[in-house]
Amino acid sequence: MKVVFCATYEGIDAKVVQVESTLTKGLPSFSIVGMASASITEAKERVKSALLSNEFSFPPKRITINLAPSDVKKEGSQFDLSIALMIALDYLESDFSQWFVFGELGLDGNVKENLQLYPLLLSLANQKLIKKAIVPHAALLKLSKIPNVEFYGVHDLNEAIELLKNHENATPSIEQSDIAYPFYEINGEKYYYTKEYDDDFLDVKGQEVAKRAALISAAGFHNILFEGSPGCGKSMIAKRVRYILPPMNINEILDIAKLDALQAKEPLFKPHRNLRHPHHTSTLASVFGGGSHRAMIGEVGLANGGILFFDELPHFSKNILEALREPMQDNKIRISRVNSKVEYPSDFLFIGAMNPCPCGNLLNEKLECRCSDLEIQRYKNKLSDPFLDRIDLTVVMQSANADDTPSFSSKEFHKKVVEVHIFSKNRGQNSFNAKLSDNEIEKFCLLSEEAKATLDMAISRFTLSFRAIKKMQKVSRTIADLESCEIIQKAHILEALSYRRR
């Protein structure tokens, strides 16, 4: 019995699959067992044609291909090459059990890549399950970004057969390539960034308080809510936060590329964090993921490592807003279905934007609000206190004025965020300030005596919840980092209090 390895999806992660083959005496037949999907069952015809087109006689035996474990559903055309190799090399006594083989076969024996290949291999590498793999030659360039894996590219079936025949002397087809963007190094780890600002904060005139809050939010990855009249710049600021977020290490860039590949997009390996912007009519399944047979990833999972932006926040359904509380708190989302139970990382920065009332004119100094008190109260009641308690910063924006002028550019803001990132890393901190655990808060959020007294007074006066107290400390930590202060001072606590929800 011969064995090589391939992989299939289980949720958004890869599951290793053993491809086993036996050729026995009996009436000629070709069967694939092990919960194979239609795309794998169809591989029989592609494999037959590829072998016959390359001068291999199809053996007149009972051919059985087993995909183990048999209780996991296998999908994808990446199994073609491994199945063909198991048949073509049945006569060899060599052990191929260290090899992973991926590739879709054409009828002429050419090896093609498919869209599932990159996220599968990246997931296997992240789980440290793979060391060397035979892959389509066309996929080598993008796969070379994946660390600690040797890739051997093949153009066709004949090349793959020759490679495995001499696998002990084979050399990788390409060296691991680095990310082609500027970086700085802290404690041996590289952090990449880009100076491209497609949307610039210079376009936002006035709104100094909102821009300051956006800077704090980006530097510490704090959830933020903008409230203001239509057209005052809520969405403008939210969409510009993406370009000033902290730099990314190689694992974060590869994870973003994996999410791109899952959406059938070509990975760019660019240190830009994702911005997901679902419409308020989106369904629960599209936001959180789901599916009756296979749990697909939703907007919350696709926003991992980046921004999840909800515009017109109160217009989202109550079910979506309440279900959002778990990923905002735990940074993961669990989906349970009859056929699958999966868990996705959802470590995102949440940005919400809303009008002050249904008509939007409540805060406008020149336009009259048409809403009754009951309508305003009903509108605001769509956001529950437990949901709002997970928002770190709340900003009430002013109406636009003719004499408003630009102030800071995205380049200047990004420079400050990078300085905060370096400052916190040199402190020995691995997480963003907003993601600090209780033990890390005690270690890194050190307060001066005046700051402690001010916080104690705020707790007593405003009846802050335990979660609100922790968030106050974390926001104060970011404000202190913006001034390169190791100890949180009274002024930092007071500024953090000014962003508290009223």
CATH number of the domain that 369 lies in?
3.40.50.300
CB atoms under 10 Å from CB of 115, counted, come to 14
Strands (DSSP E) along 300-411, which ranges? 307-310, 332-336, 341-345, 349-354, 393-396
Same-domain pairing of 52 and 113:
yes
Query: Is residue 96 in some structural domain?
Result: yes
Report pLDDT for 308: 97
The residue with tokens 């592609």 is 46
pLDDT per residue rounded down to tens, the chain (502 residues) = 678 999 998 777 889 999 998 888 888 889 999 989 888 888 889 999 998 888 787 788 899 999 999 888 898 899 999 999 988 887 777 777 789 999 999 999 999 988 788 889 988 988 889 999 999 999 998 888 888 899 999 999 999 999 988 888 888 888 877 788 899 999 889 999 998 999 999 999 989 999 999 999 999 999 999 999 998 899 999 999 999 999 999 889 988 888 888 787 878 888 999 999 999 999 998 999 876 666 678 899 999 999 999 999 999 999 999 999 999 999 988 877 666 677 888 999 999 999 999 999 998 888 899 999 999 999 999 999 999 999 999 999 988 777 888 889 999 999 999 999 999 999 999 999 999 999 999 999 999 999 999 999 999 998 888 999 999 999 999 999 999 999 999 999 999 999 998 7
Same-domain pairing of 104 and 155:
yes
Instruction: Supply 143's token pair.
Output: 């796969």
Same-domain pairing of 118 and 230:
no
User: Which residues make Cβ contacts (< 8 Å) with residue 381, sequence separation at least 6?
Assistant: none
- For 183, 220, 248, 427, the CA distances from 189, given in Å and listed in that order, are 10, 20, 10, 15
Query: Is residue 174 in some structural domain?
Result: no
Query: Is residue 477 in some structural domain?
Result: yes
Report the candidate in 154, 100, 97, 104 with the shortest Cα–Cα distance to residue 125: 100
Same-domain pairing of 453 and 312:
no
The pTM (predicted TM-score) of the whole model is 0.88
Same-domain pairing of 95 and 41:
yes
Q: How far apart are CA 226 and CA 213, in angstroms?
A: 10
Phi, psi dihedrals of residue 12, rounded to the nearest 5°: -105, 5
By CB atoms closer than 10 A (0-12, 13-18, 19+), residue 98 is exposed
Query: Is residue 422 in some structural domain?
Result: no
Same-domain pairing of 161 and 224:
no
Report pLDDT for 101: 95
Report pLDDT for 392: 95
Report the candidate in 374, 379, 373 with the shortest Cα–Cα distance to residue 358: 379
Same-domain pairing of 137 and 236:
no
Of 135, 169, 203, which residue sits at a domain end? Answer: 169
273: three-class secondary structure by DSSP? coil
Report pLDDT for 297: 84
Bridge partners (DSSP) listed for residue 31: 64
Instruction: Supply 217's token pair.
Output: 């939010």
| Whole-number CA gyration radius for the chain | 27
CATH of the domain at 160: 3.30.230.10
CATH of the domain at 493: 1.10.8.60
Same-domain pairing of 390 and 330:
yes
Instruction: Supply 176's token pair.
Output: 């691991």
Same-domain pairing of 154 and 252:
no
Query: Is residue 218 in some structural domain?
Result: yes
Report the candidate in 432, 440, 444, 445 with the shortest Cα–Cα distance to residue 472: 445
Of 169, 201, 217, which residue sits at a domain end? Answer: 169
Q: In what order do the strands lie in the sheet with 62-68?
A: 29-33, 62-68, 13-24, 2-10, 100-101, 132-136, 150-154
Of 108, 139, 169, which residue sits at a domain end? Answer: 169
Query: Is residue 416 in some structural domain?
Result: no
Query: Is residue 105 in some structural domain?
Result: yes
Query: Is residue 159 in some structural domain?
Result: yes
Report pLDDT for 144: 86
Q: How far apart are CA 142 and CA 293, in angstroms?
A: 30
Same-domain pairing of 127 and 242:
no
How long is the chain?
502
Report pLDDT for 295: 67
**Into how many domains does the chain fold?**
3
Q: Which domain holds residue 125?
A: 2-169
CB atoms under 10 Å from CB of 298, counted, come to 24
Same-domain pairing of 397 and 467:
no
User: Which residues make Cβ contacts (< 8 Å) with residue 496, sequence separation at least 6?
Assistant: 472, 475, 476, 479
Same-domain pairing of 252 and 209:
yes
